[in-house]
Structure 1
Amino acid sequence: MCSIIFLFFRYQSAMIICKLSNSSENTETVSVVEKSVLRANKTLTPTNYLNVTKNNNIKRNFTRCIPVLYDFHDKMALIQMLETDILFGMEHFIIYYNNDHNQSTVDDVLEFYQRKGVLELIKWDLPVKTKDIHYHGQIANMHDCLYRSMHRSTYVLFADVDEVVISPVFKSWGGLTNNCLKLNCAALQFQNAFFPVVFKSTNKNFSGMVDAVKYNMTFFLKTTHTKIHSHGDRSKLLVKPESIYFLFIHSVVKYYSKESQTCKVKHKDAMLHHYRKKLAIDMKTPYLENTIIHSLSSRLIPNIIKAMNSVQ
């Protein structure tokens, strides 16, 4: 199945669905070869083999997929995201990187969380120029992470490094999924709100405020957000990987089962906080303040400081 996603790029992400034979032998490798090439040389031995990974044992409940780090050098932003999600119950992170990005400024952070056993780094080098494909082949990247996590993680969250889900109601990912995943729900869709880092810091006091200012913890200081986007517009997803046939960045396109559906999480239950550094046209009014994350400060800020001190 090939899907054209963004028509103004030279190359597009696509999926090739392979129907396995009815042979009793297990498939060990697959290879993609043009039919015309095979017709011209029926004895051709392919060289572009891809090993088939098989693992039916669930190892964890929650995995987060983070797309390619590109021109990213903010240690504090990375640590804030990781520690906030870990506090909420995220068990594993998969982060992609490539040769286009000089990672030296955050390498020590990535290595620290690798040593802790919660982060997996995957190299993502495409055989095309960066300018010729949308955001480093993000659709292909998402599906790579989806299939890597299938049968290994019960749920998978897709979100960028500057995004985090915050809930005023639920204390953990487990509590959120137990309450929001109704019958036939195979995905949760979270509404997005921008928390522009360029906005003024809050003047409200909270536990650990001195340290938050000292270390420039934007999650706690930048509490003014723009208009909340509707579902499907800038939304991000938490999915049951075995249920997903194909998905876009903000929504599931097709499930394996016709009964499966996307459940829309109300922002009063949990919302995607997007800490963007640059202003954009879709950062619309009304501007509102949301200090829910301050309720986590007494537990979260010490964890952030400990991690930051460990990599300095």
Structure 2
Amino acid sequence: MGMYTKKYSGAFILCPVPPGGHPASVTIIADNVPTDFPGDRADSRGITISAELPAEEFRIVACVPPLHRRYDKVSQLIEFVEVQRMLGVDLIVVYNHSVSARVGKVLDSMSHHGVVHVIPWELPFDAYLGGGYTNIHYFGQLAAVNDCLYRYRSRTQYIINVDMDEYIVPSLEGNLWLWVNKQLTLNPAASAFILKSYLLYSYLPDHKDYFPTQEAAKKYQLVTLLKTNRTEETLPFRIRPKYIYDPKRVVSAGIHNIWGHRRNFKSQYIPSDDCTVYHYRNAKVTPNPNGSVTDTYFHSFQYDIVQRIESRWRTIRREMNLTFSDLNH
């Protein structure tokens, strides 16, 4: 059995690789963190995360950075899952470092139905102290990205890495599966497609003009329908790009780019008029970095979005024996 090893900010990631080429587990080992037994860091400060392969096969899997600090945004979670599924994602993989009790119930329900896979993500050291990150960047996000790569590489054709406030939006087809297969016919040597980002401002007022599902959008706090003010131009490729990739063509993945490709494959950079990332930023960018426009892309799918989300809310309330108020406040 070989060993795939990579060092990420503040930690070594060790992936034992069996003869078939797929790691059986991922071990996170703290780097430069004091222990009671110097030189024995792997035993005293390491954690092994089981990487048992899922039985199902998928077309597109979305991997989410570790949810942390008792994540409690129920409305955001449900909207994220259902809109991603509408866009063509089959499965959302959630790394659970710390969530609230009610988010845990929502994840239990969605996991039961095979909509999400929840991966426990307990780190062997404190990841956030005194208002800043210590020992490892952003709760081990890079480790989670690569865990997802190797955990699902033999079970899915494509993977996307996105935050809970990001959506990959294909301009024409409206479906990532159709879009990425078309791209591969045009770029047969591509391992990944790198995408620019638009910023949409969650802190600005809701869309001012009437649209048919407006009341439901307000009830369920749907940012994809309510927050339509975005930057006129995308950010450049060097700032916050995201990507969709073929895990069988990739050796290691970063947050915004592929770090290692298999031989003869490379990343393809996609023009913003073909496919982009919609990033719903709650933090203010002063001033709007490159002007702003009204973008109602998701209004074209408003009935589908609302129907999916209403159905998911009903299922969760029934199975968890909770009221809408319990889940929403």
Q: Which bin holds the TM-score, normalised by the shorter protein?
A: 0.7 to 0.9
**How has the CA–CA distance of structure 1 residues 30 and 60 changed in structure 2, closer, same or farther, with 3 Å as cutoff?**
closer
Name the SS of the counterpart of 1:105 in structure 2: helix
The partner residue of 2:166 within 163, 174, 177 is 163
Superposition deviation, residue 70 in structure 1? 1.6
The separation in 1 between residues aligned to 2:301 and 2:23, in whole angstroms, is 48
Measured against aligned partners, the alpha-carbon deviations of 1:189-239 in whole angstroms (never above 9, x if no partner) come to 121122121012112333312211232211101011134212242111211
Contact 2:61/2:91 (<8 A) preserved:
yes
The partner residue of 2:295 within 290, 299, 302 is 290
The partner residue of 1:151 within 151, 154, 159 is 154
The partner residue of 1:207 within 195, 199, 212 is 212
The separation in 2 between residues aligned to 1:296 and 1:13, in whole angstroms, is 42
**How has the CA–CA distance of structure 1 residues 15 and 307 changed in structure 2, closer, same or farther, with 3 Å as cutoff?**
same
The separation in 1 between residues aligned to 2:284 and 2:23, in whole angstroms, is 49
Name the SS of the counterpart of 2:221 in structure 1: coil
Whichever structure has more strand as a proportion of its residues is 2
Structure 1 segments unaligned to the other structure (5+ residues): 7-11, 34-45
Amino acid of the residue matched to residue 64 of structure 1?
A
**How has the CA–CA distance of structure 1 residues 66 and 28 changed in structure 2, closer, same or farther, with 3 Å as cutoff?**
closer
The separation in 2 between residues aligned to 1:282 and 1:138, in whole angstroms, is 29
The partner residue of 2:181 within 178, 193, 200 is 178
Structure 2 segments unaligned to the other structure (5+ residues): 30-42, 129-133, 317-323, 325-329
The partner residue of 1:65 within 46, 59, 63 is 63
What is the aligned partner in structure 1 of residue 79 from structure 2?
A: 80
Structure 1 residues 77-86 or 46-55, which shifts more?
46-55
For the pair shown, the structure with the greater C-alpha radius of gyration is 1
Which aligned pairs between 1:49-60 and structure 2 lie closer than 5 A?
59-60=57-58
**How has the CA–CA distance of structure 1 residues 120 and 58 changed in structure 2, closer, same or farther, with 3 Å as cutoff?**
closer
What is the aligned partner in structure 2 of residue 128 from structure 1?
A: 125
Measured against aligned partners, the alpha-carbon deviations of 1:150-187 in whole angstroms (never above 9, x if no partner) come to 11111111111111112330132221112223210111
Superposition deviation, residue 262 in structure 1? 1.0
Contact 1:194/1:283 (<8 A) preserved:
no
**How has the CA–CA distance of structure 1 residues 307 and 16 changed in structure 2, closer, same or farther, with 3 Å as cutoff?**
closer
Amino acid of the residue matched to residue 211 of structure 1?
A
**How has the CA–CA distance of structure 1 residues 31 and 308 changed in structure 2, closer, same or farther, with 3 Å as cutoff?**
closer
What is the aligned partner in structure 1 of residue 193 from structure 2?
A: 188
The separation in 2 between residues aligned to 1:27 and 1:268, in whole angstroms, is 38
TM-score norm. by structure 2 comes to 0.77
The separation in 2 between residues aligned to 1:56 and 1:78, in whole angstroms, is 22
Superposition deviation, residue 102 in structure 1? 3.8
Structure 1 residues 83-92 or 225-234, which shifts more?
225-234
The separation in 2 between residues aligned to 1:51 and 1:278, in whole angstroms, is 33
Q: Is it true that 1:239 corresponds to 2:245 in the alignment?
A: yes
TM-score norm. by structure 1 comes to 0.81
Amino acid of the residue matched to residue 87 of structure 2?
F
Identity among equivalent pairs (%): 20
Superposition deviation, residue 246 in structure 1? 1.8
The separation in 1 between residues aligned to 2:100 and 2:286, in whole angstroms, is 29
What is the aligned partner in structure 1 of residue 283 from structure 2?
A: 278
Name the SS of the counterpart of 2:101 in structure 1: coil
Measured against aligned partners, the alpha-carbon deviations of 1:78-101 in whole angstroms (never above 9, x if no partner) come to 111111111122111110112xx2
Deviation >3 Å, runs of 4+: 1-6, 13-21, 26-33, 46-58, 280-283
Size of the alignment, in residue pairs?
A: 289
Contact 1:94/1:121 (<8 A) preserved:
yes
**How has the CA–CA distance of structure 1 residues 266 and 51 changed in structure 2, closer, same or farther, with 3 Å as cutoff?**
closer
Contact 1:190/1:267 (<8 A) preserved:
yes
